[in-house]
Amino acid sequence: MPGLAACLDGCSVFVTVTHSGGLNASTAFGAKVGAMGANVAKVLTKTVTHVVFKGDDAELRGVYDRAGKVSPGCPAQIVTLSWVLACEKEQRRALERPYICPKPAATPRYFGTPPGGSAGNGAKRKARSMAPKAAVSYDVDPDMFSSSQALRAEAEAGAGAGADGATRGCGPESGTGAKKR
C-alpha cells in the first residue's frame, strides 16, 4: 500500500476552492494535494488530469467553460473537495466517479422573479441608502388638525366649561341631544 506522499503520484491537479464567504483556499488545498504526491498546476492546461473544485454554480460553469476551451473533450475530471479528503483517508487514489461535479445548467431557471432582479426587462430600482435621512420640521397649524382633535384640545383647556362649571356635551343628560318620544 503506497504511503500518503505517493497516493496521487502521476496526477496533475488544478485546485480552485472558494468558501461561501469569498475566502480563497486554493493555495492551502494545493499544498495538501502536493504533499500527497500530485503535481499542482497553477493554471488549467491540457496536461491537467483533475480539477479540485469548491464554489458556486457560476464559478463551476466558468471552470467547465475554461476546461472546454483548453482542450475540447477535456480529459480533466472536475471533482469536489471531498475527493482529496477521501484520497487522504484511504491513502491511495480514490475513485473519482462519486466525487464528480455535475455540470450546472447553462442559465439558472427561476420560478417567478429571479433573486436581485425583476421579472421583466424594466429598469432596475435605485438602491436605497442606509444613511439616516434629515429630519423634516413641520409647521403645525391648528387648522390642519381634525375636528375631534380640536374638541379634545378645547376640553383640556377648559374652554368648554359653562358659567356653572358644567361641560357642554351632546348626550341626553345635557339637554341638547335629540328628545325621545
The structure's pTM equals 0.55
C-beta of residue 83 within 8 angstroms of C-beta of residue 94: yes
- The three three-digit cell numbers of residue 166, written as one number: 358644567
Residue 21 domain-assigned (yes or no): yes
Domain membership of residue 46 (yes or no) is yes
Decide which of 124 and 39 is more confident: 39
List beta partners, residue 54.
Answer: 17
State the average pLDDT over residues 160-180: 51
- Write out pLDDT tens, residues 70-124: 777 667 888 998 999 999 999 999 999 999 988 887 765 555 555 655 555 556 6
CA proximity to 7, closest of 75, 92, 76, 72: 92
Burial of residue 61, with CB atoms counted within 10 A of its CB: 0-12 exposed, 13-18 middle, 19 or more buried: middle
Question: Would 9 be classed as within a structural domain?
Answer: yes
With respect to residue 160, please indicate whether it lies within any of the assigned structural domains.
Answer: no
Per the structure, the count of domains in the chain is 1
What range defines the domain where residue 16 resides?
Answer: 4-99
For residue 175, being part of any structural domain is answered with no
CATH number of the domain encompassing residue 22 = 3.40.50.10190
Q: Report yes or no on 16 lying in a domain.
A: yes
Asked if residue 32 belongs to a domain, the reply is yes
Q: What per-residue confidence (pLDDT) applies to 172?
A: 54
d(CA 42, CA 14): 7
73 occurs within a structural domain: yes
Distance CA 121, CA 117 (A): 9
